[in-house]
Structure 1
């Protein structure tokens, strides 16, 4: 008598989440933001500044990476799918308010946190980063073209730029930490596909 092996479990059903445009914009933006953060650290942390040296080169890389930050998003506007996702990020409904209340209460029940393609936390994060990036760009330009503005403007711009950069670094660290804790979300951003179970659990309104 021969023993028959049990059949292998079926692979999880995958559903499309992000197209090529969304993934490319995310990667390009993440790369430019990473360059800005690393070069800023090299400019403001004495130990890193001594280790890297070549301050003028670091400043130029920081300036041009910051100036290029809006470019991936602007290029992505050519994609209908990317524009549709921007529209979803820009809409805040009753279910998003429920999600935020549950998050503040640390209520992790699935039914307490209804979410569409993007949950309320992702929408708040995206809006905050977009606004912070524009402020950083504006204050950075004031600091770059010093001969065009009075000293008071440059001093205020430097203060806002420096403290907002620190806050942005903390927020980005939180974003990376959340991503590291969710392998399926990273898989979705890397390949464009997520498991049906994950979509039903994390974004039930989107799956419907």
Structure 2
């Protein structure tokens, strides 16, 4: 009976390697620390509740500096480098996906996608660029003696407003993940169901 149940169970599809899941989790943890410490620095009620501003500043700075490290370590993985290649390619089917998303057409047939859909590609590109800008402006704010005052003032303006934008975008990213349990399972366990893969990523051929 046990053998029969196993044979009838739907086959899973390998989506992410252990290294890819580690990169995602570590980056998410560091980003979470950056967002929470930033909130404690800029929201008066949280600042009063937490106190120890100097410690919060140091945690924020070092978490920000560490943000690129998981990705750099992940480059040693062939699977991770392959996924970066998938994320970096934008084809005709991605434009079709975006048009359907803009028109709120949720039919699976109208949203063709490879391993990553167009929304995921745009998010990955945007968050990578935003992280680099935050790192650069943060360094200007940290090492004040290296740049003129006008540069530091501009860096502070960009850093603060981009941080707010990142918080909003991350909230949207988390909300979409919460709405898709199978996608979360793929990041948690590395595998997804064949049915989900065929429905959400019909052009993906693992």
Match of 1:37 among 30, 35, 38: 35
Match of 1:160 among 158, 161, 178: 158
Q: Deviation digits for residues 65-104 of structure 1, max 9, x if unmatched?
A: 0000000000000000000000000000000000000000
Pairing of 1:62-141 with structure 2 (within 5 A): 62-141=60-139
Q: Deviation digits for residues 31-68 of structure 1, max 9, x if unmatched?
A: 00000000000000000000000000000000000000
Q: Deviation digits for residues 159-205 of structure 1, max 9, x if unmatched?
A: 00000000000000000000000000000000000001000000000
What's the counterpart of residue 11 of structure 1?
A: 9
Match of 2:176 among 178, 186, 191: 178
Give runs of ≥4 in structure 1 deviating > 4 Å.
Answer: none
What's the counterpart of residue 195 of structure 2?
A: 197
CA separation in 1, counterparts of 2:93 and 2:28? Answer: 29
Match of 1:26 among 24, 27, 40: 24
Pairing of 1:40-55 with structure 2 (within 5 A): 40-55=38-53
Instruction: Look at both structures and tell me which one has the larger radius of gyration over its CA atoms.
Output: 1
Q: Assess if the C-alpha contact under 8 Å between 1:199 and 1:207 holds in 2.
A: no
TM-score normalised by length of structure 1 = 0.95
How many residue pairs get aligned? The number is: 202
Q: Deviation digits for residues 107-158 of structure 1, max 9, x if unmatched?
A: 1111110000000000000000000000000000000000111110000000
RMSD (Å) for aligned C-alpha atoms: 1.3
Gaps in structure 1 of 5+ consecutive residues: 1-6
TM-score normalised by length of structure 2 = 0.96
DSSP-derived class of the 1:92 partner: coil
What's the counterpart of residue 3 of structure 1?
A: none
C-alpha deviation, 1:11, in angstroms: 2.8
Gaps in structure 2 of 5+ consecutive residues: none
C-alpha deviation, 1:12, in angstroms: 2.6
